[in-house]
Structure 1
Amino acid sequence: MNSETNVLVVEFLDYLKIEKGLSENTVKSYRVDLYEFFKIISKSYEKIEKEDIYTYIDNMRNKFKNNTVQRKVSAVKTFFKYLYMNKKIKKDPLNTIKLMKKETRLPEIIDEEEFNKIIETFNHNPKDVRDKLILKLLMASGARISEIVNLDVSNIKDNDYRYIKVLGKGSKYRFIPIYDKIADEIKEYIEKEREEIKSSKKDYKLFPGASRTTFYLKLREKAKNAGINKNVHPHTIRHSVASLLLKNGLDIRYVQELLGHSSITTTEHYTHVEKSKLKSIYDNVGLGDDVE
């Protein structure tokens, strides 16, 4: 694997860990699969062709069971899709390779009590105030961590702190509504803590010094300090918001708009309901229970 390919693989693994919230073990599996692929094919990423994946599959079938081969091929496909979506390649050479569908594994969620426990672990120093506000925005909006840490002060609509303009996937902007209490906290933070943190007068970031990686590490630390034995990461917050909104009856299309999903199919992944909860709802509705 040449150095340029290696850099892109590392970026991709960071994306899986921080943006998608995959576990350490899952990210490690991706790393092993990708390094194995490029070792066998011996080409740089921009020279990979569709035929190369078939060569790789034939090689893997001599060593592993079908399910393992499917997982390894899926890892390679996901990597090249990432490259294409981020304009690192002009065409995805593996786009037409078909795989068996697998069950979508959803991340854990945290409830309001656990969220409040994490909030309570933050101190009053400027950077903790900044990061606590980032966490509150994530929980209030369901936005992606990259959308929040990349905000500029100018993303606040007409100085109305109740609406923030975020740049989502596909370079699409959307406005997200903010609770009045958090809007007041944003205004106070801009006037005080942000002034202490920003490196220069030309630093227009709403949260100067914050990044996906630094916030992920801070969130993991705070969750541990709060005694929460879950793999808490920014995507956990996003998933928790979606699940809570749907559970409380918000129309799925509004949730789709809030989260910035281009397809409602993605939003539908969050519509899981515990069987006991579903049975309770069904019993309360009582459809047909008066029919003799």
Structure 2
Amino acid sequence: MHSDADSALQGFFEYLSGEKRLSAHTLSAYRRDLQRLQAYCRQQQINGWQALQTSDIRAYTAFRHKDGVGGKTIQRELAALRSFYRYLLKRQIVSNDPVQDIRAPKSAKKLPKTLDVDQIAGLLDANPDSILEIRDLAMFELFYSSGLRLSELVMLDIGDLGLAEGFLRVRFGKGGKDRQLPIGSVAIAAIRKWLAVRPETPSPALFVGARGARLGQRSVQLRLEKWCIKNNLPEHVHPHMLRHSFATHMLESSQDIRTVQELLGHSNIGTTQIYTQLDFQHLTRVYDNAHPRAKKPVEKKPVD
């Protein structure tokens, strides 16, 4: 690339630092991404930013993807390039934007981590030693019993429960959608124990702290972390892992994805289908361990 390309880049970095006041970390990332593209352009004998075409950028993203770079990283690099071309257009250094219609390749969805039934038992069968731990156990039982999101659990009020009938009402679901969920008998028993010792407070919240205020999401996360350490659980467990475990175990037992979708409050069944992959992995493990012709043959040593 010509020296004009270097000058344009330098002007852009000064613009980001001076007018946009981007952090040093973000500025460093922009510099690294754009200088990497510039080096690629030199290899391809592309002489300037005006000469860069949409087909060149497609080829560059394909090159990066083939090199093992993930979709999210390429997406970030394209965001830096879009910002750069907006700057070039505004300064009339180029007359077209070759990045406009470029999309990064999609990254494969990571499968959510779950706990198996024995791990769930280790988490929920431990005995509480204090009032706060009685509350904590009720929260964790409810997570796993009804597949709640963390935000839904902390927003529950006592009036949302129908313990005699075995249900609860989620009034603050994702997308503003309400739904009614069943509660298992073990979770109901844990909630009754908590309500018997819950501090007197004007707050309608089901789960409150020692001072009577509604418990926040971060507090729930920390209490679960503390509970796991106390009970020697080998893996870091976060609240959403209990929701994932609920969904996976329900799907393994029922094979009814539509019901699991409704229980989880997913508007799109595609979101629920990720649990079918987890279920298939479980089936594959069972098959490999149980089927006599599925196991890898043991190599026989030659007889001397």
For Structure 1 versus Structure 2, the TM-score category normalised by the shorter chain is 0.5 to 0.7
Kindly indicate whether residue 238 of structure 2 is the aligned counterpart of residue 233 of structure 1: yes
Q: Distance in 2 between matches of 1:249 and 1:164?
A: 21
In the other structure, the counterpart of 2:64 is 66
Q: Distance in 2 between matches of 1:235 and 1:207?
A: 17
Whether the 8 Å CA contact 1:142–1:258 is kept in 2: the answer is yes
- Structure 1 residues 270 and 165: CA distance shift in structure 2, 3 A: same
Q: Distance in 2 between matches of 1:76 and 1:235?
A: 30
Q: Distance in 1 between matches of 2:249 and 2:226?
A: 24
Kindly indicate whether residue 137 of structure 2 is the aligned counterpart of residue 136 of structure 1: no
Whether the 8 Å CA contact 1:220–1:233 is kept in 2: the answer is yes
Structure 2: any 5+ residue segments left out of the alignment? 1-15, 23-28, 38-62, 79-100, 210-214, 293-304
Cα displacement (A) at 1:63: 3.5
In the other structure, the counterpart of 2:197 is 193
- Structure 1 residues 216 and 75: CA distance shift in structure 2, 3 A: farther
SS in structure 1 of the partner of residue 261 of structure 2: helix
- Structure 1 residues 180 and 120: CA distance shift in structure 2, 3 A: closer
In the other structure, the counterpart of 1:119 is 124
How many residue pairs are counted as aligned between the two chains? 212
TM-score calculated relative to the size of structure 1: 0.62
Identity of aligned residues (%): 27
Amino acid aligned to 1:99:
A
- Structure 1 residues 99 and 41: CA distance shift in structure 2, 3 A: farther
Structure 1: any 5+ residue segments left out of the alignment? 1-38, 46-55, 78-95, 284-292
Kindly indicate whether residue 163 of structure 2 is the aligned counterpart of residue 154 of structure 1: no
Amino acid aligned to 1:127:
L
SS in structure 2 of the partner of residue 63 of structure 1: helix
Whether the 8 Å CA contact 1:155–1:165 is kept in 2: the answer is yes
In the other structure, the counterpart of 2:285 is 276
- Structure 1 residues 140 and 178: CA distance shift in structure 2, 3 A: same
TM-score calculated relative to the size of structure 2: 0.60
Q: Distance in 2 between matches of 1:41 and 1:206?
A: 49
Q: Distance in 1 between matches of 2:290 and 2:251?
A: 14
SS in structure 1 of the partner of residue 254 of structure 2: coil
Q: Distance in 1 between matches of 2:21 and 2:179?
A: 37
- Structure 1 residues 75 and 135: CA distance shift in structure 2, 3 A: farther
Within-5 A mapping of 1:173-188: 173-188=178-193
- Structure 1 residues 281 and 238: CA distance shift in structure 2, 3 A: farther
- Structure 1 residues 74 and 177: CA distance shift in structure 2, 3 A: farther
Q: Distance in 1 between matches of 2:224 and 2:72?
A: 30
Kindly indicate whether residue 207 of structure 2 is the aligned counterpart of residue 207 of structure 1: yes
In the other structure, the counterpart of 1:217 is 222
- Structure 1 residues 59 and 143: CA distance shift in structure 2, 3 A: same
Whichever of the two has the greater Rg, that structure is: 2
Cα displacement (A) at 1:230: 1.8
Whether the 8 Å CA contact 1:61–1:69 is kept in 2: the answer is no
Output the aligned Cα RMSD: 3.5
